[in-house]
Amino acid sequence: MADWTDLPMDILVVIAQCLTVIEDFTSFTAVCKSWQSVTSILKKKPSLPTRYPRIMLAEKIDTEDQQNRDDQDASIRCFLNLLTSKTYQLQLPEARGRKCTGAHYGWLWTIGIDLQINLLHPFSRQQICLPPMLTLPDQYVYDERFMPQEVWGVFVAKIVMSSNPLKDKCLHDYNEDCTIVAIYGEYAILVFTKLGDTVWTNISVQSRVYQDIIFYNGKFYAVDVHGVVVVCDFDDANGPKAIVIAPAPIETNDTYQKYLVESSGHLLLVARFRKGISLNFDDDVDDEEEGDDNEEDMGDVDGNVNVDEVEDVKDCGNEEEKEAGYYTTGFFVWRLDECHEEGSNYAYRLTQVTSLGDQALFLGSNVSTSVASSESIKPNCIYFTDDNYELYFEEPGGGGHDTGIFNMEDKTTQLNYAGESRSNISPPLWYI
């Protein structure tokens, strides 16, 4: 009978390198001191995905008080554990003053006033450089009054990867097959690069204002502001292009923010609607945006939804939220199914979906993800963060208030996790 108490260090190192999520790695190092010494042999922590979603809170800096800004504080980012509601602090100087978004496989991407775009892993603090902002093909026309340093916070909207940028098990080598697609620029069009490239290359599109991208079944799909879904074709002889595969659903309009997410093996299109009114409770029912009119026309939506939602928000009782300019009131979900109808112009059609089953969607500035329900994650819900960067960039106090959970079953929205974490550049996001 073998004795495991003195497993040779080289075996421990191999086992540690087989672990696939951060949580397993940190449990490993907490077992005993010799197991912990594996970290010094590996020289750095691995850049692994995480098992549980967390919220990465905004930077804790007082933008009014630059001079007394404590260097330490600005380098710390807090992560909120959904189960325990405890926050934990991580030293992350690489994120300081930068917009951090797009969590995927445990990686964030950041952009800053230096116009550099990097992938950053908060656990290992590893960074991978992507081609900088100025290599994106379609730039604004800059001059001495309008410099790129003014638009870095909004110029790149989303970045999605086809895989972990590092090769499995051999976590120091880049995965050369990793393709990265982004939405960028004045017209929110599509662009791509591969690890090791020095520039970004446009993907030819027929429309503009894309709002989300997802990598699903080996391909990149994107959705535009109208709700039209496209697939990216990288094999065309004339260069990469986007091909329409499904028309916009009739129940949506351009004011609803669109997302694409994979859930239970299907590709889903999700539309998020917000109210843009300030919360003046006496006359808010009259102050309706065009989005509300459309809601009332929807067969699925409860006619009393406006009143219920206002009451939900009232209960939050947070002074900051009452002054917020916009907040989410609901979602619609469609599933993309292959279309075999004769005479149809499209390969897919959209079917409205009223339940997510045991899954929960996590939407926002992260890569849209579906997670199985658990002790801390409710099924059939949509967890959302504030990703309305066009508005929060200018919003007093910054974005971050429009964060919460939408229940697909009773169609209520609970503003949650809002707290005091707000930023004009990098509000809270799901870290998955």
Binding site for another protein (CB under 8 A): 1-5, 7-8, 10-11, 14-15, 17-36, 50, 52, 79, 81, 83-84, 86, 88, 123, 376
Smallest distance from another protein to CB 86, Å? 8
Tokens coding 350: 């959209």
Task: Pick the closer one to another protein by CB: 93 or 137.
Answer: 93
Smallest distance from another protein to CB 417, Å? 17
Task: Pick the closer one to another protein by CB: 181 or 429.
Answer: 429
Task: Pick the closer one to another protein by CB: 297 or 375.
Answer: 375
Which phi and psi angles does 94 have, rounded to 5°?
A: -65, -15
N residues, the chain:
432
Amino acid at 79: F
Q: How far apart are CA 333 and CA 353, in angstroms?
A: 5
Task: Pick the closer one to another protein by CB: 185 or 428.
Answer: 428
Amino acid at 246: A
Task: Pick the closer one to another protein by CB: 91 or 351.
Answer: 91
386 within 8 A of 230, measured Cβ to Cβ = no
CA Rg value for the chain: 22
Task: Pick the closer one to another protein by CB: 89 or 354.
Answer: 89
Structure letter (DSSP) for residue 7: -
Q: Among the residues of 5-148, which ranges form H helices?
A: 9-18, 22-29, 33-36, 38-42, 71-74
Smallest distance from another protein to CB 22, Å? 5
Smallest distance from another protein to CB 160, Å? 24
Smallest distance from another protein to CB 336, Å? 30
Smallest distance from another protein to CB 88, Å? 4
Residue 131: CB partners within 8 Å, gap ≥ 6? 117, 193, 197, 198, 199, 200
